[in-house]
Amino acid sequence: MNTLIENISAVNDLILQGKGLEAFEMYYHDDVEIQKNDHPISVGKDLNRKHEEAFFAAITEFRCAKPLKIAIGEKTTMVEWQLDYTHRDLGCKKYTQVAIQEWQDGKIIKEKFYYGS
């Protein structure tokens, strides 16, 4: 059984390779709940997959994704990311975000993102 550091490192590595959707398929629970800042929670892998596919499809220029810090706790991981890209609907985006993941059975069951508007 993989440890949390191995799992979150594998997720991050896939993201850095441009395989964010593969990471989602491999490491996210079927009942995952994802929330961005204080927006409503999206429940279920199918709904969240659609959100991820739409987001990645709308990136017109990708410049940087870099994990700055990783923290591991009991059934919890946190990653601070530096991101820089151009999105068809959102324009040029350059920011830092923190993603907090709760794990169950080797998969992410809850994830919340914190970032500036």
Is pLDDT at 102 greater than 80 in this prediction?
yes
Per-residue pLDDT of 48-91, as tens digits, reads: 999 999 999 999 999 999 999 999 999 999 999 999 999 999 99
Fold of the domain spanning 4-115: Nuclear Transport Factor 2; Chain: A, (3.10.450)
**What are 7-58's pLDDT values in tens digits?**
999 999 999 998 999 999 999 999 999 999 999 999 999 999 999 999 999 9
Alpha-helical runs (H) found in the chain: 4-16, 20-27, 45-57
- Tell which residue, 70, 107, 64, has the closest CA to residue 84: 64
If phi > 0 it is left, if psi is from -120 to 50 it is alpha, else beta; for residue 50 that is: alpha
Q: What is the phi/psi pair of residue 56, to 5°? A: -65, -35
pLDDT band at 1 (very low <50, low <70, confident <90, very high): very low
In this predicted structure, the answer to whether residue 117 has a pLDDT above a threshold of 70 is: no
